[in-house]
Amino acid sequence: MRVWECRRYGGPEVLRQANRPRPAPGPDEVLIRMAATTVSSGDARIRASDFPGGFWLPARMMLGLLRPRRKVLGCQLSGVVAEVGENVSRFAPGNEVTAFPDTRLGAHAEFAAVPQRAVEAKPFGLDFAESAALGFGGTTALWFLRETARLKRGEKLLVIGASGAVGSAAVQIGRHLGARVTGVCSGPNMNLVHSLGAVEVTDYTRVDPFAGGPHHVIFDTVGSTTFAQALGALAPDGRYLAAVASVIAMLRAGKKDSGAEMIAGSPPDAPALFADVVAMAAAGVLRPLIDSQFPFSALPQAHARVDSHHKRGSVVVTLT
């Protein structure tokens, strides 16, 4: 099967196409013939070895000190089940599915073996491209808003980076949870963010992103602000959520300042959240935003688009 390998850290030019044997599914795994995958900001971070402040060494220890240990990147995909392991009961060959292998990676390949826990039926009404883009942004937004901030109906939510993969999911999930959502993005993306469900939209290139406060929850999905800067715009019991946090910011996580709390980290159990995200998509509550689509042969160009830091939602790669 064809795969894309990241054999060393660097720009999109380090990626190489290679041939590998088609994997056999383990007892609890589903082998999926990939129809679509994404280049997420997480894939681009690993490839470029670009980690938030102070995380360079811990990340390199985890991912490979001199070169990536897992060379085939890609944390999510959709496709058709090709084979199932002996303990798999929920899926059979021919089923159309979406999967979120998350940090196990391996989706930038013609076939991927994924634990059945991280696989769900492709939601009716979503195509393969949209289905492939559910996990990364959706699970992150759901974990921060529902599990950590415990966002309540009627609260005011500010989403900074509302046109990104995490931000566009946060706007939709925030609205679904009953919050009054303000989105922060640049001028050309304002209509789009309105259409996702934001009641107010702020252009960060012209106006203070914290305008319109106090907010009960501020979710910075792109790391352009700090808890200290946000304090003046938070309600007394407010929560500041940092999707991108330096080591120093992580040390403040869980602590309170003037009654407001700083929250950072990553979802501990992505498959459980993924099932909820897919159910939300099936119910029409969440629709992944697609920035662009590239053929599998052009995967380095997809990385270059992610490196711009101006994608709208997800960059999808399709296998035809």
Ligand X SMILES: NC(=O)c1ccc[n+]([C@@H]2O[C@H](COP(=O)([O-])OP(=O)(O)OC[C@H]3O[C@@H](n4cnc5c(N)ncnc54)[C@H](OP(=O)(O)O)[C@@H]3O)[C@@H](O)[C@H]2O)c1
Please give the residue ranges that form the binding site for ligand X (CB under 6 A): 40-42, 45, 136-137, 140, 160-161, 163-167, 184-186, 189, 204, 221-224, 243-244, 266, 309-312
If the CB atoms of residues 287 and 311 are measured against ligand X, the closer one turns out to be 311
CB of 225 to ligand X, least distance (A): 8
Residue 258 contacts residue 231 (beta carbons within 8 Å) = yes
**Which residue number, 84 or 118, has a Cβ lying nearer to ligand X?**
118
C-beta of 37 vs 40, nearer to ligand X: 40
Provide, rounded to whole angstroms, the least separation between the CB of residue 123 and ligand X: 21
Nearer to ligand X among residue 81 and residue 222 (C-beta): 222
Provide the minimum distance between the beta carbon of 102 and ligand X in the complex, in angstroms, as a whole number.
10
Return the structure tokens found at 108: 């930038």
Residue with Cβ nearer ligand X (96 or 147): 147
Helix axes 135-142, 270-282, angle to 10 degrees: 100
Task: Give the span between the Cα atoms of 9 and 92, in whole angstroms.
Answer: 38
Nearest approach in angstroms of CB 81 to ligand X is 26
Residue nearest ligand X, CB atom distance: 164
Q: Let me know: does 318 contact 129? Beta carbons within 8 Å.
A: yes
Closest approach of Cβ 89 to ligand X, in Å?
30
What one-character-per-residue DSSP string does 25-51 give?
P-TTEEEEEEEEEEE-HHHHHHHHT--
* 3-class secondary-structure state, position 279: helix
- Distance between CA atoms of residues 68 and 219, nearest Å: 30
